[in-house]
Amino acid sequence: MANAVPPELPAFLSDYLDTLTASTRSGYCIDLRLFFAFLKDHREALAGIEPSAIPFSVLPSVSAGEISSFLDSLSATKTARGRARKLSSIRSMYRYYVRSGLLRTDPSREVPLPKIPEREVTHLKDTRVQELLQKADEGDGLTRSQQYFHDKTGSRDLAILSLLVGAGIRTRECAALNLADVDLEHKTLRVERKTGTVLLSLDRRSIEALTAYLPDRNRLPALPGSENALFLSLQNRRICVRAIEKLVRKYGELTGGSLTPRDLRATFGVNLLTSSGDPKKVAAALGHGDDHTARRNAAVIKRTLSGEKGEGVPRAFVRKKILPETDDTAP
C-alpha cells in the first residue's frame, strides 16, 4: 500500500517516494520540502497554490541556476555536508523521473556538490583495541548496575566489538546479521550491503568471540520476528543500531575516551591498509565504491608518522614503503 505524500510536498511525488526505504524517504521528504518551498517563494506562478498542488510541469522548467540558488540560500544555516545532502535528494528525484522517461534532462547534474571539509580518520593503537575487548570480556570498571547487565550481555558485547574492529562492518550491517551469516568452519561472515551480498574473512579475535557467544545466543528465547537475528537486545529482540552505538561508547569511556563505531571501522581500514599497502583491497573490504577513502586513510597515517594526529603507526611501514603515494590534502 502506497504511503501518503506529506501535504508540504507535491502530490505527483507519490510514485517516486514509494521507491524509497522508510529512513531514506523521511530524510528526502525534509530536503525536498525545503526545495519546493524555495521554488514557491521565488516563482510568482506558484505563490498562490498549495504545495501539494504544484504541477509536475515545474520540474522540467527548473534550471541548474535555480538549484544552485537554493543551495546558496541555505549557507547561513546548513553546513556544506548538509547542503550536499539536499542536492543528493534533488538528484535522486530527477534521476527517477529521467529513468522513468517522464523527463529528458536533469539540471541537478550540472550543479557541483558543495566542497565538504575532510573528516579526520580516527584509528586506535592495538593496545587500546586489546584493552577495549578485555573490558567487554571481563567487565572491569563497570558500575554495579552496568555489571548486572554485563553478566547477561558480556559475550554479546565482545562479539559485536570484535566484528566492528576485526571485520570493519557498518553498524547497520552488524544489527542486520543473522545466525546463518556466521560460518566458523570457513572463517567467513556474510554481510548484506547496498551493492549486494559479500563474504568477509573473520580474524582470530572475531572467531574466538563468536565461538564463545553463539552458545549463549542459542539459549535465548528470541521474540517473534527476531528468531534468526545474530545479536539480540535485553528484550530478546533484534538489536538496534542505537544500542550498538551506546555499547561502543560505554566501553570506549572505560578505555580513555568516548568512541563511535566509525572509529572502530576506521581502525580496521587503517590496519588493513598498513598490512597490505593496497587501497583497493581496503575499499573492497569496507564496501566503498572506490578507493578514495582508503587513500584518505593513507594520508592520515602519513600525518601520524609526521607527529600529527592519530594513535600511532609503526615506522617500519615507512621503511618498507608499503604506503601508496597519496595527496594529503585530498578531501
- Burial label, 80 (beta-carbon count in 10 A; 0-12, 13-18, 19+): middle
Q: Which residue has the cell 600525518?
A: 303
**pTM for the model:** 0.63
Furthest C-alpha separation in the chain: 69
Which segments within the chain are labelled E, that is strand?
182-183, 188-193, 196-201
Is residue 121 over pLDDT 70?
A: no
Give the residue among 263, 236, 234 at the shortest CA–CA distance from 249.
263
Write out pLDDT tens, residues 132-177: 999 999 988 888 888 899 999 999 999 999 999 999 999 999 999 9
Tell the burial category of 39 from Cβ atoms under 10 Å away from its Cβ (0-12, 13-18, 19+). Answer: buried
Percent of the chain with pLDDT over 70: 85
Half-sphere exposure of residue 279, counting CA atoms within 13 Å on the CB side?
16
Least confident of 49-53, 192-196, 311-315: 311-315
Q: Rounded to an integer, what distance in angstroms lies between the CA atom of residue 188 and that of residue 200?
A: 5
With CA atoms as reference, report the closest residue to 265 among 166, 155, 135, 136.
166
Residues 6 or more apart in contact with residue 89 via CB below 8 angstroms: 27, 28, 31, 32, 35
Least confident of 130-139, 189-198, 288-297: 288-297
> Is the per-residue pLDDT at 306 higher than 70?
no
Start-to-end CA distance of the chain, whole Å, equals: 42
- 288 or 286, greater pLDDT: 286
Q: What domains lie within the chain, and their CATH numbers?
A: 11-110 (1.10.150.130), 126-319 (1.10.443.10)
Q: Which of 57, 133, 59 shows the shortest CA–CA distance to 91?
A: 59
Reported as a single tens digit per residue, the pLDDT across 81-109 is 899 999 999 999 999 999 999 999 999 99
Measure the CA angle with vertex 96, ends 193 and 112; round to 5°. 85
Of the pLDDT bands very low, low, confident and very high (cuts 50, 70, 90), residue 308 is very low
Cβ atoms < 10 Å from Cβ of 246: 11
Percent of the chain, pLDDT > 90? 64
Whether residue 327 has pLDDT greater than 80: no
